[in-house]
Each structure stands twice: as structure tokens, then as C-alpha cells.
Amino acid sequence: MVFEQEEEAAPGAVHGHRLSTVVPGSVTGEVDYALADADLAFKLHYLRGAYYFPPGDAARGLTTKALKDPMFPWLDDYFPVAGRVRRGDDENDRRRPYIKCNDCGVRIVEAKCDRTIAEWLQDDADGDATDRVSQLCYDKVLGPELFFSPLLYVQVTNFKCGGLALGFSWAHLIGDIPSAATCFNKWAQILSGKNPEPTVLTPENAPLQGHHPPASAVAAPRSVKQVGPIEDHWLVPAGRDMSCYSFHVSEAALKSLQQQARHAAAAAGTFELVSALVWQTVAKLRDGVRTVTVVKADAAGRSGRALANEMKVGYVEAVGSSPAKTDVAELEALLAEGVVDETAAVAAFPGDVLVYGGANLTLVDMEQVDLYGLEIKGQRPVHVEYGMHGVGEEGAVLVQPAADGRGRVVTAVLPRDEIATLRAALGAALQVA
């Protein structure tokens, strides 16, 4: 069953959006898929991932039908992704949300861009890099009618040069960044004619055992900010206008930064180094920012489940001098050794929270995520960048490997009125602008 809709051309480079739906190849049978406490902690957040393929063998002949055909068996494996959110009937359990696996499907969006990929990715001084990810990933959230809201949108944007971008808009409650990336990679394997191992969705999710006290009776962990309660429109409460800005940090810039911070802790890595510089820079803009939230993808700590929210959540607090006046090496050491782990407390908190950008500026470690495993016809994407929708006004910074494995791609989701100053400050330090 496919429904198509032609939308009016939107202003800007990306336009001509057409929507259709793909459902699993076989009937799931109205299965209820429970959401864990950790899943619900991320219910207000949405991942945005854009994968770029240049003109050539990968993009040539890749029609919409060719992209959709492998989605039928893909969604057979990942059937909860094709479902819709429902609420339970038990008032004592706050009408706990779950996923009704009713095969309503995922939305496919076709769009066009009047620029080449090279032009699109060029980080011009006029700010074209701002909200770049958002334009390539369909911008929808869950609700206000939860039972009609897809959990995943896949946007295919064709550039005038013959290249394309695949953009995924993924509701965070069904899985974290590693879960999402693995899911997308599985679809690409089927598209490329491979026969991947079946996806295992067991053991089933389950809430933590025991009675939850009222949210008003306990304090939210320092890593997150309590909001709401949120009803059926899962949208971050209105605040400052947020903007998503992506930039590349070259290997040479990283080496220069490492030389400046050569006395950092032995446990520090590239994520801590880049995050320390961004923390220091934002602290200068805001005159403070003593505490940051850290969200890390830890491959060693994962359960092996296909869909799960298992990223670690904690906070780091700088004591003494302001981070704006603290050496990058000291902040790097703090990020490497001073994180207070609140993962379990965040999952157990009974109220609605903002993890990213809620209580603090949030630094997101994506070093161990397989972002370039989405291969089409044996070709890896030339560039991948992830953003986030539903970030609180404190902002979030995502750090991930670049295509060459040596540089880094950094995406900052911050109040729009801070972006220009951030660009200038980081440009002076890293020569990225």
C-alpha cells in the first residue's frame, strides 16, 4: 500500500517534496512492543542523519523503486520501526506509551536540490552550512496525534550533479545513535544484494521493576532537565530559536590542537579534545557554562540488542576558574576522567526530561558509531553528518569521525543568535570557517 502526495515547492535549495509509504513485506499481527524506561527518557529527541553519495556507480540508476524494494524485508526485521505509538489504559502507570506494531509503515520523501553536492557542502561565509542537515531530513515530530505519526522518515534528495543524499529522521525513543546507524546499514546491505544475519529484537523491553514515585517527589538528575508533563505532542517546549551548524575539523587542525594540549590525561581521546575546545568557546560566549552533560556511545557496554537506548549519560563540572579561562588540556582531562555517570538515574526518573541541551550544554561522543557502513553497490558515502531535533536551549554538540577516519565532523545545535560568533571563534582556533 503506497500513498503519494505532492507538496508545494519550499523556498531554498531543496524542494519538490513527494511523500509515500512503505510497509513491512509480511503482516506483523498487531504486536505490542514495550518501551523501556531509557527509551522514554529520549522521547522528545529526534536523530537526523544525512549520507552523501556523489555522481557515479552508486547513485546511477538508483530509482525510488530500487530504494523501496529492499525496505519490505528490512521492515520485516525491524517491524517496530513501522509501528505507531499508543498509550496504555492504566492511569496508575501514567498511561505508559508503547509501540503498536500495526505495519503502518515508514514515510519515504523524494526531493530535489538545485545545487551540486560540492556546492552544498562548501562551508561558505554566507552561512549555507547552517541547518544543512535539517533540509535533507524531513522535519516532523511525534504527535499531536500519536497514532498517525511515523517513527521514521527516509528522504532521498537528488542533486543537480547526479549525486544524492539519503536523509533519515529517526525518533530517538526507538533506539539510540548506534541502533539507528546499524538499522540504516542493514537496509543498505539488502539493497546491495547481500543476505545479512536476521535482526534479533529480543529480549523484550521492560520497565524497571517497582513503583515509580511522582516526578514532583524526586529531583531530576543533573545531566537532564525536567519538563512537562508532555501530553501527546512530543515537542520540546518553545524557547530560543535553535540552529544546526556543521563543520569539518581537519587532521592537521587536530594535530595542532593536540600539540597545544600535549599534557592532557592519558585517557583523553579525540572526542575529549574537540569537545574541550567547543566547551571553552561556548563558555566565552555565555560567560560561564561550568557544567556540561556528556552522552557517549560505548560499544563495549552494549547488550547486543538491535533497538535500544544504551548510550551513557553523565555530567562533568568544572570547579575553580571558569571554563572560559581554563586551558583546553585541563578541560580535556576533566572530560576523560571526571564524568559522573547518571545513566541509570536518568532512565529511572519518572518525569519527562530533556537530555540534549536541557540542563546543560551536551557533548555527544559518536567515535564508536559505524556511520560509514551504509554502502551502496560497494561504495561508501563521501560524507556523513548527524544532527538533532528537539535540543534544549543550552545546545548540543555531536562529534563524529570524518570520511577519511582522521578528521572529525562536528555538528553544533545552538541558539541561532550564537552561531555566527561560534563560527568566528572556532574558525580562529581551527581554521574551519
Each residue of 32-67: pLDDT tens digit? Answer: 999 999 999 999 999 999 999 999 888 888 888 999
Whether pLDDT at 427 is above 90: no
Quick check: 131 and 152 in contact, CB under 8 A? no
Q: Can you tell me the distance from the alpha carbon of 48 to that of 171, in angstroms, rounded to the nearest whole number?
A: 9
Angle between helices 251-260 and 328-337 (to 10 degrees): 100
pTM: 0.93
Q: Can you tell me the distance from the alpha carbon of 287 to that of 325, in angstroms, rounded to the nearest whole number?
A: 10
- For 315-362, how does the pLDDT look when each residue is reduced to its tens digit (9 = 90+)? 999 998 899 999 999 999 999 999 999 999 999 999 999 999 999 999
Q: Can you tell me the distance from the alpha carbon of 53 to that of 173, in angstroms, rounded to the nearest whole number?
A: 28
- For 129-155, how does the pLDDT look when each residue is reduced to its tens digit (9 = 90+)? 668 999 999 999 999 999 899 999 999
Quick check: 396 and 413 in contact, CB under 8 A? yes
In percent, the amount of the chain with pLDDT more than 70 equals 88
- The mean pLDDT value of the chain amounts to 89
- For 220-275, how does the pLDDT look when each residue is reduced to its tens digit (9 = 90+)? 999 999 998 899 999 988 788 999 999 999 999 999 888 877 665 666 799 999 99
What separation in angstroms does the CA of 153 have from each of 106, 170, 184?
6, 7, 12
**C-alpha 138 chain-centroid distance:** 13
CA dihedral 201, 203, 298, 307 (to 10 degrees): 30
Confidence of residue 125 (pLDDT cuts 50, 70, 90): very low
Q: Name the 3-class secondary structure at 78.
A: coil
- Whole-number pLDDT of residue 110: 96
Q: Can you tell me the distance from the alpha carbon of 15 to that of 105, in angstroms, rounded to the nearest whole number?
A: 23
| Ranges assigned E (strand) in 181-232 | 225-227
